[in-house]
Structure 1
Amino acid sequence: MNLYATDKEYKERFDYFLEEVKNDEGNKLDEPTRYLAVLSVLMGNQGICAYEEVLEKALDVLSPVQVKEMVYQATDYLGYGRMLEFLKVTNEVFNKKGIELPLESQTTTTIENRLEKGIQAQVDIFGEHMNEAWKKATVNKWLASNCFGDYYTRTGLDLKQREMITFCFLYGQGGCEPQVMAHIQGNLNLGNDKAFLTNVVLQCVPYMGYPRSLNALACINKVED
């Protein structure tokens, strides 16, 4: 899709804004973090065409494993129904670039210990009270065993990166403010501070638009205050 051929004035102005945001001295992120944030927020807002466009460039600084781990983790926050197209596009881009599939395994848990390991990941992020949270309801048990035991325990991304992309999945799709605020607190607990999360949102503005970006910034301020 060559927008310079069909929509030259628009593309010139949009590309200028991308560079303006990327190079803003007060809100910079390192390139791997910026690409992880942009790709995960595009998954959140279902921007499949933009995701493919960005992924082509992101693979210059992100490893295939990092990208795949982000896509896999989206299952729990977007659902399989909204994640699957992104997995297909990711595999297509990997094939085009000669990246051999399947990638090496990043699994660290078994069916037998996934609940235990997932609970520990929740404790590491949110605190000791999570030791008992899984007992409250069936969905809490699944959160511990599936969301955290199956995904957060995998290698390829660390817990700080996983909490950052979760924040992006959630605010990107909108309407998830309680969960957004819970994972803002999780990010803060791990050392992803207010300034960092603010920069994540600002770097994603061109791909996210202003309404949900402003909502995310409001959530950050509310949790931090």
Structure 2
Amino acid sequence: MKKILAVFAVFGGVLMSADIEDNTLKAIFENFEKSSKNDTIQAGLSPRQIELSNLAVIIASGSLRLWQERVEKSELKADEIMELLRQSTAYLGMARIREFIFITSEIYKRKGVKITDFALDSDENRLKNGQNLQIELFGSATTQSMSGDYAQIGRYLSQNCFGDYYTRTEILSLDEREIITFFLFGCVG
């Protein structure tokens, strides 16, 4: 139940970051945000996790304007925000994330902030490391169930979603990546 409350609290924080001219709707959003703020803290999410969650919600909603407003004032580092976008690509697709990357790059160019590029492992290591992490998190049945007709999907999940993203914890921790994935899936319908 606490995690569900955290979801509502995060959504409240996202909604209020936009300029709302409808006074009735603005009052409803403000009431929701006030009543849900403590629920987020009680659910055990840190301010950093809340911000990552808010940004993931915005990405999943597809709101480029809200994204730009939020990134402009976010206290997260440029590399952290870009890593959130990179991971979002695995779940939402390149076409959905492309404009977010362009907007974010322009913001940081204007601010004179350089974004770090990271070298990826070989295909073999990405697959092996991704599978090992899946086994650690979910048990060996997870990777074994991806055989036969599902082998290609299993390889993609292991190599890309886990090998390219989840195993790279230099910028975002495993817990943060799980929170991001939860909010990306929770908002896409």
TM-score greater than 0.5 by the shorter chain? yes
Supply the distance in 2 between the matched residues of 1:75 and 1:109 (Cα, whole angstroms).
18
Choose the corresponding residue for 1:21, options 32, 36, 47: 36
Whether the 8 Å contact between 2:166 and 2:174 is mirrored in structure 1 is yes
Aligned to 1:142: 156
State the shift of 1:143 in Å: 1.0
Q: Which runs of 5+ in 2 are unaligned?
A: 1-17
Q: Which runs of 5+ in 1 are unaligned?
A: 175-225
State the shift of 1:159 in Å: 1.1
* Superposed counterparts of 1:101-112, under 5 Å: 101=115, 103-105=116-118, 107=119, 109-112=121-124
State the shift of 1:15 in Å: 5.1
- RMSD value, Cα: 2.5
Aligned to 1:162: 177
State the shift of 1:138 in Å: 0.9
Whether the 8 Å contact between 1:120 and 1:131 is mirrored in structure 2 is no
Choose the corresponding residue for 1:54, options 43, 58, 70: 70
State the shift of 1:98 in Å: 2.2
Supply the distance in 2 between the matched residues of 1:142 and 1:69 (Cα, whole angstroms).
19
Is residue 153 of structure 1 aligned with residue 167 of structure 2? yes
Structure 1 residues 130 and 28: CA distance shift in structure 2, 3 A: closer
Aligned to 2:86: 72
Aligned to 1:89: 103
Whether the 8 Å contact between 1:40 and 1:165 is mirrored in structure 2 is yes
Residue identity opposite 2:138 in structure 1: F
Whether the 8 Å contact between 2:127 and 2:159 is mirrored in structure 1 is yes
TM-score normalized by structure 2?
A: 0.75
